Amino acid sequence: MIVTFRRLLTGQDSRQGLWFLPLTIGCLGFLWLLIGVDGFRNPQNLLNLITQAIPLLLVGLGQMLVILVGGLDLSVGSVVSLTTAILALDAPGYVLLPTVFLVAGLIGLINGLAITRLNVHPIIATLSMQIILRGITLILLPTAGGVIPEIVKQSVSGRLSVLWLAAAVFVGWKLIHGSRFGLHLFAIGGGVAADRQDTASKYGVADRRNVVLAYVLCSTFAAVAGVFLAGRIVSGDPNVGLLLEIDSITAVAIGGTQLTGGVGSLHGTIIGVVMMTLLANGMNLGNVSAFVQTIIKGSILLVIVALQSRKKIGL
Amino acid sequence: MTAAVKIPSSSKAARETLLSRAAKVPPAYFVFVILLVTLWLTRPQMININVMGTFIRQVAPLGILVLGQLLVMRVRSIDLSGAGVVLIINYVISSGILGDANAGLLVIVALAIGVSLGLVNGLLIGKRRASAVLVTLAVNTILVGVVQFLASGKPPGNVPDAFGDVYNVKYLSLPSPVIFWIVLTGVMAVFLSRFVFGRHVSSVGENPVAAHFSGVPVERTVIIAHTIAGLMAGIAGLVQTSSLGVGSIRFGADLPLEAVAATILGGVVFGRGDGGVWGPFFGVLSFALLFVVMTSFGVPDAGKLIARGLIIMLAATYYGLRTNS
């Protein structure tokens, strides 16, 4: 009992990491916003909150899969931008939508293969992918604009975003906590965190295949986020995904997932995403300047990261 | 008999070491030579110390930042806070918040800012064992926010003339920032090869556990590496500010990732101790040259991005495959 309690409070020796503290901070913040800030309570704002959270949640879920195996994907923001750029091309929706997911899958496949087969460090592989994709996006769509297929616009309008949220959480739960794949991710990441890369494979877990799959799913999640964003802004934008990779890593890390791998949870990631969204929404309503918001966001990340205990020094 | 057996085996060994030595050459050198030859064949008039000096002068801040980056990467860490440090130093110098401080004092303040931010990074990463990616990312975010808040979104002001004067001096037709960068690189090379700290860096990078049990102060090495990286970011900020001549609140967001890329190109690999100082130096030069070649061929910005990404990917693949076999 005492052990469980300490594990909850410090995140030590826990597979789910330090998620309880951010949950407490998030709940307090939510209460304060409900009571203290006037515009926050109205139903339209709460619906907005969901709409604002969905892209980050989708990208964060994908990011979490690769972070669980001790990787990192810096190309997700570019994938989001590229997706909106492809959707803004002049072609019918039944051509563009499959193209988007095919491209995203291919990007994830290249990332995963470069990391597992060619032995490239995840930061480098996905960083170069990010730079390449930014170039390709600028060729396809130099400035924001273009027309998005009708079907995409309709599927994200109004209250339908609640469905997106439910679907994202369900798929995330299925992948991370409800499948053999998720269990394998924890096994692989646990080995990587302990500097014993081959632990999982010694227990019969196909590590390379699962890692590649994690990267493919990560890019696919980013593409879904791109489709959602394209529908919301009703045009393509080559810069829409800028810094999304950093925001997604922040959200995942706030939720207690450790960058060394093997530690994390779905509810942690959801807490992280909700906290980031509440922070932005609440401070906008409270007329806090965007610059101060950046400072507060960075400080929260710094505090939470400093509170997470690990054994390894470095990355 | 024994001699007859020995000679072939030893010559085979010699051949193998020669081959493995050739494979150890950082990709930056190959990229640099290829780009130089391309330029020489297509635009011979560009190979001129004045033209090249102007282009290379622009990457001097990046080159100085790389000196810190390679150090932290060799101890299995990373520093992504360079952009924020450069920004805040630019702000301090150009906004005049220190009143009528003379240039010397401004330089000292800038270096102190760099060192203290590096020390904060180092303590959080080395002592608290927090994730280096996240700590330096968070510090960067905070710094960018602070600068934008203080400047309330407007460019702050002008840089004192003394900085521009030093920046525009040339010795032997080499611009002063380039000379400064080369000297600093040389100092770092000597520091890492001749001092105990350099040995500590190598052993921590090779295997932190083994280093710890051999009595190497792992924590202290990581902290010092980050502090020096902060100092380098401070110097890079000074050079960048002198080159801009004015205050600015939007530049250098790509600087830390570019520094990582140049370091990789120069043969420093995450999680392994090897890598020198001159490899990353040529990595930065390659980026400068790539820019020159692409511009002279009229390649648009999008094409430059793609080419740069491909080069980083190929360089990393080259290393990955080598460690595989």
Q: What is the pLDDT of residues B27-50, one digit of tens each?
A: 888 889 999 998 889 888 877 777
Q: Which residues form the domain of B139?
A: 54-313
Q: Across residues B268-294, what is the average pLDDT?
A: 84
What tens digit of pLDDT does each residue of B166-225 get?
888 887 778 889 999 999 999 999 999 899 999 999 899 888 889 999 999 999 999 999
Distance CA A228, CA A164 (A): 9
pLDDT at residue B3 in the model: 46
What tens digit of pLDDT does each residue of A143-161 get?
888 888 888 888 888 778 8
Distance CA A129, CA A79 (A): 9
What tens digit of pLDDT does each residue of A231-243 get?
998 889 998 888 7
> Confidence class of residue B4 from pLDDT cuts 50, 70 and 90?
very low
Smallest CA–CA distance, residue A156 to chain B, in Å, is 31
How many beta-carbon pairs below 8 A join chains A and B? 181
In a mutagenesis test of the B interface, which of A10, A124, A132 is the best target, namely the one with the most B β-carbons within 10 Å?
A124
CA-based nearest residue to A224, from A48, A62, A92, A110: A62
> Confidence class of residue B11 from pLDDT cuts 50, 70 and 90?
low
pLDDT higher at B154 or A63? A63
pLDDT higher at A164 or B161? A164
Q: Which residues contact A7 (CB under 8 A, 6 or more apart)?
A: A13, A14
Bridge partners of B174? B171
- Give a yes or no: residue B20 inside a domain: no
pLDDT higher at A312 or B298? B298
Distance CA A49, CA A56 (A): 12
- Give a yes or no: residue B15 inside a domain: no
For residue A145, report the phi and psi dihedrals to the nearest 5 degrees. Answer: 155, -160
Give chain B positions within 8 Å (CB) of A118.
316-317, 320-321, 324
What tens digit of pLDDT does each residue of B90-124 get?
999 888 777 767 888 889 999 999 999 999 999 99
Q: Is the pLDDT of residue B2 over 50?
A: no
Domain total for chain B? 1
Count of alpha carbons within 13 Å of A136, Cβ hemisphere only? 20
Classify the C-alpha dihedral B121-B122-B126-B127 as positive or negative. negative
CATH number at residue B111: 1.10.3470
For residue A260, report the phi and psi dihedrals to the nearest 5 degrees. Answer: -75, -15
Mean pLDDT of chain B: 85
Distance CA A154, CA B51 (A): 55
Give chain A positions within 8 Å (CB) of B144.
294
pLDDT at residue B16 in the model: 63
pLDDT cut 70: percent of chain B above it: 90
ipTM, 2 decimals? 0.84
In a mutagenesis test of the B interface, which of A128, A192, A244, A293 is the best target, namely the one with the most B β-carbons within 10 Å?
A128
Classify A145 as helix, strand or coil. strand
> Confidence class of residue B271 from pLDDT cuts 50, 70 and 90?
low
- Give a yes or no: residue B254 inside a domain: yes
pLDDT at residue A300 in the model: 84
Distance CA B322, CA B325 (A): 6
Is A128 in Cβ contact with B129 (below 8 Å)?
Answer: no
Mean pLDDT of chain A: 89
- Domain residue extents for chain A: 20-30+43-307
CA-based nearest residue to B189, from B285, B294, B74: B74
- Amino acid, res. B240: Q
DSSP A177-201: TSSHHHHHHHHHHHHHHTT-TTHHH
